[in-house]
Homo-oligomer: A and B are copies of this chain.
Amino acid sequence: MRIGELSSWTGVSVATIKFYLREGLLPGGTPSGSNQADYSDVHVRRLRLIRILTQIGGLSLRRVAEVLRSLNDASAAYRALGPEVEEDPGEDFARALDDTNRFVDEDLGWRVHEDAPGRRALARALAALRQTDGEVNVSVLRPYARAADWLATEEAPSPHERAGADRAERTIARTVVYESALMALRRLAHEHRAATDR
């Protein structure tokens, strides 16, 4: 398809598509005649993934580019996905990070990169919890780990989905989209409980 058709098919403006092409977020089309190029499903899928990462995942284009560059290395792609935790995450962070690392590596036995940003995000949450609720054992996170692991299994690509970039794209897209759905449902569940518990 032409760039105009790609635009109307995906709802992304031609100017934005051209910008993504220049920035290398989108692979070039197949040249077809003078100054024209042919675009395919690859481009449609890639544009949808970019939209999911920016609009639903809230990622900057710099981070999107990192995720896209890492699609053939899942661990790197998840590292690029964040979440970002600022440099000075507050008091008692170092101790919380020790506790959460032990929890992830030993208690859960999960194989994740030592620089996985989720580790820092988890430690920041535990430190904040300890400030609000007093001394909290890291094991309070166990039900959350169980829920996270269970849902990750539900989201895993089915065995007959073909491998390759397409599959990695879907996995990342699902992670971000289901995450936002889960967050939305959590907010609604809390509001519902607050309304009925009175």
Contacts and interface: CB of A to CB of B under 8 A. Distances in A.
Nearest to A11: B91
B81 A197 contact: no
A141 to B, nearest CB: 6
Contacts of A111: 192, 195-196
Contacts of A143: 150-151, 154
A153 interface: yes
B194 A125 contact: no
B175 A190 contact: yes
Nearest to A51: B90
A39 interface: no
A112 B183 contact: no
A79 B194 CA distance: 12
Q: How many copies does the complex hold?
A: 2
A182 B152 contact: no
Interface residues of A, number: 77
Contact of A124 (B78, B174, B180, B187): B180
B11 A148 contact: no
A188 B116 CA distance: 7
Given A74-B195, A118-B183, 19 more contacts: A56-B124, A56-B128, A75-B195, A78-B194, A111-B195, A111-B196, A119-B188, A121-B184, A128-B173, A128-B177, A129-B178, A132-B177, A144-B182, A147-B185, A148-B185, A148-B186, A149-B185, A155-B190, A171-B190
Interface of A: 11, 48-49, 51-52, 55-56, 74-75, 78-79, 81-83, 86, 89-91, 104, 110-113, 116-119, 121-122, 124-126, 128-129, 131-133, 141, 143-145, 147-156, 170-171, 173-175, 177-197
